[in-house]
Every structure is written in C-alpha cells, then in structure tokens.
Amino acid sequence: MIALLTGTVASLESDRCIVDVHGVGYLVQASTRTLSALPQPPALARLLVETVVREDAILLFGFAEAAERDWFRLLTTVQGVGAKVALGILSALSPAELVAVIASGDRAAMTRAPGVGPKLAVRLLTELREKAGAMPIGEASLPSNVAQPRGLAADVLSALANLGYRRVEAHPVVQRAMADAGDSATLDGLLRACLRDLAK
C-alpha cells in the first residue's frame, strides 16, 4: 500500500494531479483544497496517500494534511459515500468547517457539496455526530458531547436562519449568548444578543 508520495508535481488538473517519483508518474485524485495547496509544476511536493484497491483499479487519493485524510476515511464509512463524494465534501468543507456543520446540524451546508442530496446530508450528520468524537481539525478536535441544539437554542437558531444567517456561523454565537444569559435566558433577549454579535 502507498501511504506517502514525495516527488515533483508533473501536472495539476481540477480533480487530480500527477506526481513524478524518480521517473514514475502517480495519478493522484484529491480535493480542490489539497490541489490548491500544491506548488505549480514542476516543483517538489509531499502528499499523504490513501490507497483504494478495487477489482478493476488501484486508486490513489492524496491529502495535504493528516486531518483531511482522516476525515476522508471517516466519510467513506457512511453508506452512500464513496471516494468521489468524500472528496467533494472535503472540497466544499474544511475539517474545521465539517466540525461546525456537524455541531450545528446544518443540512444546507452539507448539501452544497457535490453529490450530497438532502437524504444523504441527514445520514451524514446523524452518523458523523456519533462517530466524529475525536476527529482532528488541525490543532483542535470535536468534543465528544456534540449534540443537536434543543429548546431555546434551537428556536434562536431557527429564527436566525429565517433572517438569512447560516447555521454554521450562528451556532457558536447562540452558544455564547446562552452561556452569558444563564438561567435568565429568553428568546427575545437571546435573539437581540445574537443579532448584536453577528452585526459586528
């Protein structure tokens, strides 16, 4: 199994690249995030690799960082998510953004990834919430107790979404407002506090 390639970037395309390692060109599929992090050919590059062996092919998937590779592995454990869809998700959402999307239950953000419809988005959010306890996002990780917002927090999030705010950006603001308000939290008060925070 190939786990790492260090060589010259021979060519870059929209969804793959060729890495020349001592005269052997390896075709590596990657997310747009990883491909944009690679230097322009011809330049030396290092890619972490996930090798997938099928009956008809041996496929290489490259990653600029370990966090993205680990998320690729996790995403492909979800039914209906193959390597192509996983790369599409990682092109649309960074590991850190995936954590925020999972924490906030943001189906709309998940469906922006190519190949992810509403049903698959719900399955991804449900299964990843259960599995993603310690997934890396660089230097931080997703807390193991990530849960869907309920009660007052869910109402405030819904109101903010109706006003045009994305759940990913609104979720941490609602959490801060809830913590600041404590037991005296009201829907009206929380909504005003969140709108002030989001307006900054």
The topology (CATH level 3) of 151-199 is Helicase, Ruva Protein; domain 3 (1.10.8)
The distance from CA 2 to its chain's CA centroid, rounded to whole angstroms, is: 24
CB atoms within 10 A of CB 183: 4
What would the pLDDT profile of 88-131 be if each residue is shown by its tens digit?
999 999 888 888 888 788 898 899 999 999 999 999 999 888 77
Residue 97's alpha-carbon distances to 68, 91, 107, in angstroms, are: 11, 11, 13
Question: Who wins on pLDDT, 166 or 176?
Answer: 176
Q: Note the helical H segments in the chain.
A: 32-37, 66-75, 83-92, 95-104, 107-111, 118-131, 151-162, 167-181, 187-199
Helix, strand, coil tally for the chain in percent (to 5): 50, 20, 30
Token pair of 161, please?
A: 């979404």
Check if the beta carbon of residue 21 is closer than 8 Å to that of residue 47.
no
pLDDT attached to residue 133: 55
What three-state secondary structure class fits 156?
helix
Give the pTM.
0.70
Average confidence score pLDDT of the chain: 85
User: What CATH number does domain 66-131 carry, 2.40.30.10, 1.10.3720.10, 1.10.8.350, 1.10.150.20?
Assistant: 1.10.150.20
pLDDT in tens, 36-86: 999 999 999 999 999 999 899 999 999 999 999 999 999 999 999 999 999
> Would you kindly state where each structural domain of the chain is located, as residue ranges?
4-63, 66-131, 151-199
Give the phi and the psi of residue 46 in degrees, each rounded to 5: -130, 125
| CATH entry 3.40.50.11540 includes domain 4-63 | no
Structure tokens at 156: 């405030």
